[in-house]
Structure 1
């Protein structure tokens, strides 16, 4: 065991943030700390490194182990240049390197009688320097910086010239170069582009030390971590596996916990009813039996109510009317800003049922395309045409469609004046705005709150084409999952830009990669896109619009057939799961009725009837156990 976090409690004022955090980190393990915004993830990291005191509890690090920490916000600059800053992480090697250099300068002035002793000391120091990686640490530092997006003349830039985001990248590079036994990283990819994120995934996956990460990029976590610590509601639960495994295990655990809680509550109510009935007989034996049952009831370890009662966003995306087959034709469009050309003669089509993600580096024009489609920016040439009966719902990542002076309530009511006050309030409650919260000004809202208001307006639009620009940017984990589920059940057409690879993986059936002003089309989700790119790279083929799609018609058909086969298998699996869930629900209802039968006065004294009900209940329990096992197996497959 490398790190032990034991029963940490932390409050700010009267608000308890961390109520009981307990977990361990083994050597070489990769651990994610997850939880919604405000659950204390960053606070917990600060407590572990000693930047914040805990109200109670203990953090223990293995003796002689080293620890490195990357905070979300960097305040200090180290060294005069980017490269010097990273190299300064190994002061031990720099000091040894200087000593070796000084000794080499002294060699020419040695007396013969002192040479043997001197050279022995030199070779010992040289051997130690080599063992500690002294001859490779400079090239490794350069490699780390290159992976983080710095190269060439960038390495000699002064730290004073850098933006806050660049300083964070350098601080990350310095931390990685120091190679501590335990890395603590708070949102390490906030200022990285996709290539740097992919590089960091590979680096951390093969890192010999242990890593504890707080990050909102679920795909990033999927690639790295082997354990997840869930800090929901101030308490910790530890799960084995990556983020996807955690998500599935947590869903199953919550379902099981809810069932167990309901079962215990029914048993408690049943025992209370029996005790009350026995006491009503007012006989000595009956009273003793009632007291005996009461003692047993008092010994029950009462389960806490499930967290399902905590507020969560509820989002349902419906279509008021269906569109035609052809939804959008983006034809030969050219767009420039001032003298800078963004894209030239760009074309693509959107058909009914498409779920298209537009990917590409920053600055390639992805958001500009969405703005052109929505008439928010002009373009020089080309044509953008919508198909028959197409209605558009647009989610703007900057939420410029919101009126700053409006209250949340008036923002919705102005957009949809036909809604009653109750309907507006009910809608806002579904997005976790209740009571006086609905009268907050838009200008006072956080990014996450503004995002929820925009999603509420999007839901009310009932559009059959949704155009979304970075829809998950300000959402917490729960809200992202709610949005993904809503989009997967949505019957309309979807076109969006997103850097959230997990979101793309769950919601896209086609990817348009924008590079050098042109699109390359890939069928499938993000995993399919990466696999296809790797396949083309291995075959030394440069991907083009034609090479990935139309000219290789047989491959495209094969991809399409494979996609349809996979979708059919998924539907088949989901149907099986749905049928099992229906059977479980019916049996649970039947079981509840049997519980009611147990409580009927005429049955409580009828031993034959009680035996019959018990046998029936045991049979149902056996069937339920089998069905839950089947559900678990299918849900995790």
Structure 2
């Protein structure tokens, strides 16, 4: 065991962060610390490193072990370049190298015993240098920087000129190169593009030390961690497995507790009814029997009803009108900034009902493209056309749609003057703004709070074409799931940029990857993209200069038929696939409903008042037999649909 936290206690005023919380991390273990926003995850990390005092409990780091910490925000003021800053993590190795070079110069002028002693020192230092992988040190630094999305042209940039996200990446690179025995990482995937996140996953999976990660990136957690530590309402619980296993186990435990609670409540009500009936007989024996049952009831330890999952937001998206079939047509669009060409001569179409995700490395022009469509910036060449009755709702990750000088309440009321005071209050309450909070100025809000205000405005817009730039940034996992549900139930069209692979997988039906200044088109979700990425990128976007427009969604000769499909045929295929999935879901729901009814019937048939009543018994038995017959047909139908899907 490398780290143990015993009976941690921490509160800020009346707000309890953790109460008697305990967990441990083993050597080389990769663990996640999860919970809703405000649960206290970052505070717990600060308690571990000693930055935040404990109200009670102990944090024990194994003797001789080192600890490294990455905070969400970094302030690099050293005046170093990016390369110099990250290189400082290996200062001991470079000092050793300088000492070796110095001794090499001395050896030229030494003889006899002095030469022998100096050679002994040189050989000892060289062995230590080799053991610390000194000869590969510079390659390791370059590899980490490139893995985190920096180009060699970036290496000479001054750290004090960098954005907050770039500073975090520099600090992460520096921390990884120090190789502590346990890494504490607070939202390490923020500000990383998809390629950098994939690189970090591989790096951490192969990391020789232990890792404790705070992250809302479910795809990342599924790939990296083998233990999940949950902070929920000031309590800490540990679950073995990745995030998916944790979510399933948590639901399983909650279902079991709810079943136990419901069974106990049924038993209590039953006993109370029997007691009441016995007392109504008003005879000595029946009253004694009633009292005996009352004593038995008093000895029952009540089972607490499981708390419902915390829902941070409550909203749905509904378009005010249906747009035409052609929602967006982009033709020969190009954009460059100074000497950097972002994209060139791209053309594509988006049709009603599509959910399209734009992905690509940082700096390729994804956000710029959304800004062009929203007329925030202009294109250098080309044009775009919106279809009939298209009404755009825009979510901007920089929140330029918000006004710093306004309050949250005014931000809504000024844009939607027809809403009453109560309607505005109710809308904001759905996004967790209550009481005096609604009068906070926009400029004082955190990134997550601004995101919630922007989502509230998006909900009220009743747009039929949503354009979203990194909509899951600053949202916790629960809020992401609510947004996913809202988008999946949305009947309009969606175009969004995101680095959240889990979110993309759950909500998109098509992916446009911006690579080498053009688009590669994938008709499918993120899993499909991973399957086809290498093949299609090699075929359509491998060269620096590529042909105009959007690359097809298949490449090899075996797939020529599919690549030549007309737009209508592709749409028909997608519609059939959605229908099969919907039919499968409905079939599963019908099966669950009938199985649940059969369980109820089985319970009823064990009751004396039922099995002693031949008419009622026959009625229930007939219903159960009919249900079994229906289930048999549904099982066959489910197998057919599952095979198709």
TM-score tier (shorter): 0.7 to 0.9
Question: Which residue, out of 546, 565, 575, partners 2:586?
Answer: 575
1:454-493, CA deviations, whole angstroms, 9 ceiling, x for partnerless residues?
Answer: 3333334443322222222232221111010111122222
CA distance in 2 between partners of 1:524 and 1:438 (Å): 40
CA gap of 1:34–1:81, structure 2 versus 1, over 3 A, is: same
CA distance in 2 between partners of 1:199 and 1:253 (Å): 34
Give the superposition deviation at 1:306.
2.8
Alignment of 1:228-267 (within 5 A): 228-267=228-267
Q: CA RMSD in A?
A: 4.4
CA distance in 2 between partners of 1:486 and 1:382 (Å): 34
| Secondary structure of residue in 2 paired with 1:479 | helix
CA distance in 2 between partners of 1:82 and 1:406 (Å): 38
CA distance in 1 between partners of 2:344 and 2:602 (Å): 66
CA distance in 1 between partners of 2:112 and 2:41 (Å): 63
User: 170-179 or 312-321, which moves further after superposition?
Assistant: 312-321
1:433-453, CA deviations, whole angstroms, 9 ceiling, x for partnerless residues?
Answer: 445555555555443333333
CA gap of 1:478–1:100, structure 2 versus 1, over 3 A, is: same
For 2:552, the equivalent position in structure 1 comes to 548
Residues 393 and 466, structure 1, Cα contact 8 Å, conserved in 2: yes
Residues 10 and 19, structure 1, Cα contact 8 Å, conserved in 2: yes
Give the superposition deviation at 1:70.
1.5
CA gap of 1:116–1:437, structure 2 versus 1, over 3 A, is: closer
Give the superposition deviation at 1:421.
5.2
| Secondary structure of residue in 1 paired with 2:142 | helix
Q: Gaps (5+ residues) in structure 2? A: none
CA gap of 1:117–1:388, structure 2 versus 1, over 3 A, is: closer
Give the superposition deviation at 1:183.
0.9
Give the superposition deviation at 1:507.
1.0
Give the superposition deviation at 1:368.
3.7
CA gap of 1:483–1:384, structure 2 versus 1, over 3 A, is: same
For 2:525, the equivalent position in structure 1 comes to 525
Residues 35 and 230, structure 2, Cα contact 8 Å, conserved in 1: yes
User: 280-289 or 144-153, which moves further after superposition?
Assistant: 280-289
For 1:59, the equivalent position in structure 2 comes to 59
CA distance in 1 between partners of 2:605 and 2:460 (Å): 43
CA distance in 2 between partners of 1:421 and 1:164 (Å): 38
CA distance in 2 between partners of 1:505 and 1:13 (Å): 41
Residues 31 and 225, structure 2, Cα contact 8 Å, conserved in 1: yes
CA distance in 2 between partners of 1:184 and 1:342 (Å): 36
CA distance in 1 between partners of 2:462 and 2:532 (Å): 35
Provide TM-score, normalisation by structure 1: 0.81
CA distance in 1 between partners of 2:116 and 2:521 (Å): 69
User: 550-559 or 83-92, which moves further after superposition?
Assistant: 550-559
Residues 33 and 229, structure 1, Cα contact 8 Å, conserved in 2: yes
| Secondary structure of residue in 1 paired with 2:308 | helix
Residues 239 and 246, structure 1, Cα contact 8 Å, conserved in 2: yes
User: 197-206 or 335-344, which moves further after superposition?
Assistant: 335-344
Residues 77 and 167, structure 1, Cα contact 8 Å, conserved in 2: no
Give the superposition deviation at 1:257.
3.6
Q: Does 1:384 align with 2:384?
A: yes
Give the superposition deviation at 1:350.
1.0
User: 191-200 or 209-218, which moves further after superposition?
Assistant: 191-200
Alignment of 1:166-177 (within 5 A): 166-177=166-177
The count of aligned residue pairs is 618
CA distance in 2 between partners of 1:3 and 1:482 (Å): 34
CA distance in 2 between partners of 1:186 and 1:303 (Å): 36
CA distance in 1 between partners of 2:333 and 2:5 (Å): 57
Residues 469 and 498, structure 2, Cα contact 8 Å, conserved in 1: yes
CA gap of 1:218–1:84, structure 2 versus 1, over 3 A, is: same
CA distance in 2 between partners of 1:144 and 1:154 (Å): 13
CA distance in 2 between partners of 1:153 and 1:343 (Å): 20
Residues 469 and 496, structure 1, Cα contact 8 Å, conserved in 2: yes
1:161-183, CA deviations, whole angstroms, 9 ceiling, x for partnerless residues?
Answer: 65554443333222212222211
Q: Does 1:223 align with 2:234?
A: no
| Secondary structure of residue in 2 paired with 1:22 | strand
For 2:488, the equivalent position in structure 1 comes to 488
| Secondary structure of residue in 1 paired with 2:135 | coil
